[in-house]
Amino acid sequence: MALSDPLGVLASPLTIISRQDEAADVAAIGSIINQNDVERVIVGLPLSMDGSLGRQAEKVKAFTQRLCEEIQVPVEFRDERLTTVAAQRLRQATGGKKSRKKERHDDAIAAALILQGYLDEGREA
């Protein structure tokens, strides 16, 4: 997960939620939303390289529907293709070595890249 600063200028990695079960995952995300006064949730949607919805994207949409039943903030999807690759390259460029812990951290960096793209687009509009 990632959060932006209060002005919506800069996105930063926040945490990684270790998957448990759907109810626990929704509760963990809801708790972060409440604790941080989140006004909008941006969900990375893992589209296929041709832009179509594959199996994983359908799973994300179903989970997001469940999340929307529990939270009171707007939710938007954003294409997340290649963000994990970009996160890995960023880590490597900054001297990070490959490890299981670093690979998990790549997910939080990818979340920040997705959110930063969303924030940047909002400023351009």
89: domain CATH number is 3.30.420.140
61 falls within a domain: yes
125 falls within a domain: no
Could you list the residue range(s) of the whole structural domain that residue 10 is in? Answer: 2-120
Confidence of residue 110 (pLDDT cuts 50, 70, 90): confident
Tens of pLDDT, residue by residue over 83-106, are 766 666 777 777 766 655 555 677
Number of domains in the chain: 1
pTM: 0.82
| Sign of the dihedral defined by the CA atoms of residues 103, 106, 17, 76, in that order | negative
9 falls within a domain: yes
CA proximity to 97, closest of 88, 84, 107, 110: 88
58 falls within a domain: yes
Phi, psi (degrees; rounded to nearest 5) at 67: -60, -40
Please give the Cα distance from 77 to 45 (Å, whole number).
6
